[in-house]
């Protein structure tokens, strides 16, 4: 496997801290935007994609060589999964779905159905920029692809992968949020002097922010959305890569 240039240890540790800090900011946004169990499920599911990332780092997909000084989350069959990579997946695939749900009505009014390809393509191009810094500038890891398939050291096929993953993630997150909103409020109510029904104080304290009595169902329903999107994106991209065979031949 090809070796990578010796990167600055300051850049390497700085990148790890930046990915952790970015993920923490995303978690803060989860609570800042309402701390709903659906939001927690979306972000939590995306934050569990580290093993997916390990699989995609193999020879048949991304074919990545990491700097061996990264802190390692786990190692299987000699292939490592850096700690920072799991955090980066959590933010990149989790926060976009959360924001798409939170600002769904605004997106519907301005973009309609075009919001899905527009956001996904934008994120695909953004990935080229972000990884262009970590790969093309800082030399923290390397995609072992032929030069004709690389933009600033990053495979342009990553755009296909991200579009294929983000469209179903955002679509499913939006549909789940709409479904939860449509479930009738079944909280016990009292009738006020004016005739309006309202829950009493004890009921409000018991149900918290879930007047529909759904418990943790929104969390568990949202948790597999990000892995499902990654599966779809990976499947579509695998078919493309199999046809293109962009990898550097093994010597």
Per-residue HEC secondary structure of 117-152 comes to HHHHHHHHHHHHHHHHHHHHHCCCEEECECHHHEEC
Strands (E), 25-136: 64-66, 72-76, 79-82
Query: Structure tokens of 190?
Result: 């009292």
pLDDT digit string (tens) for 201-238? 443 333 334 545 778 899 999 999 999 999 999 999 99
pTM metric for this prediction: 0.85
Query: Structure tokens of 115?
Result: 């919001």
Which letter, b or e, does each residue of 216-229 get, where b requires 16 or more Cβ atoms within 10 Å of its Cβ?
ebbbebbbebbbeb
Q: How far apart are CA 1 and CA 159, in angstroms?
A: 24
Residues 82-105 have a mean pLDDT of: 93
Kindly report which listed range (34-43, 136-145, 175-184, 189-198) carries the lowest average pLDDT score.
Answer: 189-198
Answer whether residue 195 shows pLDDT above 80.
Answer: no
Share of the chain above pLDDT 90, in %: 69
Pairwise pLDDT comparison (227 vs 33), residue with the higher score: 227
Q: How far apart are CA 41 and CA 217, in angstroms?
A: 10
- Which neighbouring-strand residues pair with 195? none
What mean pLDDT, rounded, does the chain reach?
Answer: 86
- Which neighbouring-strand residues pair with 154? 151
Which residues are CB-contacts of 199 (< 8 A; sequence separation ≥ 6)? 187, 188, 189, 190, 207, 211
Pairwise pLDDT comparison (92 vs 186), residue with the higher score: 92
Q: Is 3 helix (H, G, I), strand (E, B) or coil?
A: coil
CB 207 within 8 A of CB 213: yes
pLDDT digit string (tens) for 154-166? 999 999 999 999 9
pLDDT of residue 173: 96
Query: Structure tokens of 78?
Result: 């000699």
Residues 142-157 have a mean pLDDT of: 95
114 phi and psi angles, rounded to 5 deg: -70, -10
Kindly report which listed range (7-21, 114-128, 180-194) carries the lowest average pLDDT score.
Answer: 180-194
Which letter, b or e, does each residue of 121-151 get, where b requires 16 or more Cβ atoms within 10 Å of its Cβ?
eebbbebbeebbebbbebbbbbbbbeeebbe
Write down the residue that tokens 């479930």 correspond to.
Answer: 183
Answer whether residue 247 shows pLDDT above 60.
Answer: yes
pLDDT-derived band at 251, boundaries 50, 70, 90: low
pLDDT of residue 1: 44
- Which neighbouring-strand residues pair with 80? 75
């Amino acid at each position: 496997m090809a070796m990578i240039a010796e990167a600055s240890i300051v850049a390497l540790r700085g990148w790890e801290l930046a990915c952790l800090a970015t993920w923490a900011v995303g978690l803060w946004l989860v609570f800042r935007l309402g701390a709903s169990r659906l939001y927690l499920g979306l972000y939590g599911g995306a934050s569990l994609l580290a093993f997916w990332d390990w699989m995609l780092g193999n020879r048949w997909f991304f074919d990545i060589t990491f700097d061996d000084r990264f802190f390692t989350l786990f190692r299987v069959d000699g292939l490592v999964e850096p700690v920072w990579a799991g955090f980066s997946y959590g933010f990149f695939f989790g926060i976009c779905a959360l924001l798409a749900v939170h600002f769904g009505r605004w997106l519907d009014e301005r973009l309609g159905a075009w919001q899905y390809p527009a956001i996904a393509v934008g994120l695909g191009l953004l990935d080229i920029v972000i990884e262009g810094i970590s790969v093309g500038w800082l030399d923290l890891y390397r995609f072992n692809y032929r030069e004709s398939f690389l933009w600033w050291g990053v495979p342009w096929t990553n755009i296909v992968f991200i579009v294929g993953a983000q469209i179903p993630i955002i679509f499913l997150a939006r549909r789940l949020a709409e479904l939860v909103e449509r479930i009738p409020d079944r909280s016990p109510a009292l009738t006020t002097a004016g005739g309006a029904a309202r829950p009493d104080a004890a009921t409000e304290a018991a149900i918290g922010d879930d007047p529909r009595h759904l418990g943790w169902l929104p969390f568990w329903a949202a948790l597999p959305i990000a892995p499902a999107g990654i599966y779809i994106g990976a499947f579509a991209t695998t078919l493309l890569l199999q046809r293109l065979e962009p990898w550097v031949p093994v010597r």
